[in-house]
Structure 1
Amino acid sequence: MSLKEKITDDMKTAMRAKDAERLGTIRLLLSAMKQKEVDERIELDDVAVVAIVDKLIKQRKDSIAAFEQAARQDLADKEKAEMAVLLAYLPERMSAEEVTAAVQAIVAELGAKG
């Protein structure tokens, strides 16, 4: 199942559960995806969807900082909730130790020195 299909299924699940907050965030994501497809006349793959999710998360982080600076904690909390929903669609990131181990394995495989 592609990421795009998973997001659509999650939207249907949120509709059935009457989870308005989650549904709104998922619809926002689907709207951004559809806009990208229409603008560029392409079919999005998982990599493009992850890029859109990253962009939306960055927007949420910027909004949270601005709202907290303006003492609008209610709006900051709403943005944090949206960001939590969006984070579920990102692939798991590698830890620093995992990256180091992978690089060392590649270096050993290639026999590189220095």
Structure 2
Amino acid sequence: MSLKDRISEDLKAAMKSKEKLRLETIRSIKKALLEKEVSLRPSGQTDLTEAQEMELLLQQAKQRRDSIEQYQQAGRTDLADQEAQELAILEAYLPAQLSDDELSKIIDEIITEVGATSLKDLGKVMGTAIQRVKGQADGKKIQALVKAKLSE
């Protein structure tokens, strides 16, 4: 089942069950996908590729995480909670997230592969790590782990 089909099915289910937040979140995802699709039409592309869909979902998740952080700093826990609930709904469409142990092992492998020895090699390690775990771990989390390992 394609992402579009899955979202349409989930949208119908949310309407039937009258889950307002779920419905609004899924509508926002559908809207973002449609807008991206329309923006690509002039280049001759009619449908989004899986990679483009994943990139858009990751972007949406990142926006939610950033909003949560900002709301928490501003003391608006009500809005932070709503964003967190939206993020949870959104994450259902993303690949499973790596555990800290799995991510740590992958980063160790990458550090060995690129021959990184200090924080000067952060860029090399980050570039490879982001490509390898795309969608399976948050960039801030990856960066924190890489920095910790390279500064040991």
Shorter-normalised TM range = 0.7 to 0.9
Q: Show the counterpart of 1:22.
A: 22
1:4–1:49 Cα contact (<8 Å) kept: no
Give deviations 1:70-111, integer Å, cap 9, x for gaps: 1000000000000000000001245348858xx9xxxxxxxx
1:66 aligns with 2:70: yes
Counterpart position of 1:51: 55
Task: Give 1:4 deviation, angstroms.
Answer: 1.6
Q: Counterpart in 2 of 1:9?
A: 9
Structure 1: 4+ residue segments shifted above 6 A: none
Q: Distance in 2 between matches of 1:27 and 1:47?
A: 20
Moved more, 7-16 or 44-53: 44-53
Q: Which runs of 5+ in 1 are unaligned?
A: 104-114
AA in 2 matched with 1:86: L
1:107 is matched with none
CA distance 1:38–1:97, shift in 2 (3 Å): same
- Partner residue, 1:76: 80
User: Map of 1:29-48 to 2, 5 A cutoff?
Assistant: 29-41=29-41, 42-48=46-52
Aligned-residue CA RMSD (Å): 2.0
Aligned-pair identity in percent equals: 42
In 2 relative to 1, CA 93–68 (structure 1 residues): closer, same or farther, beyond 3 Å?
A: closer
What is the TM-score of this pair, normalised by structure 1? Answer: 0.80
* Runs of 5+ consecutive residues of structure 2 not aligned to the other structure: 111-152
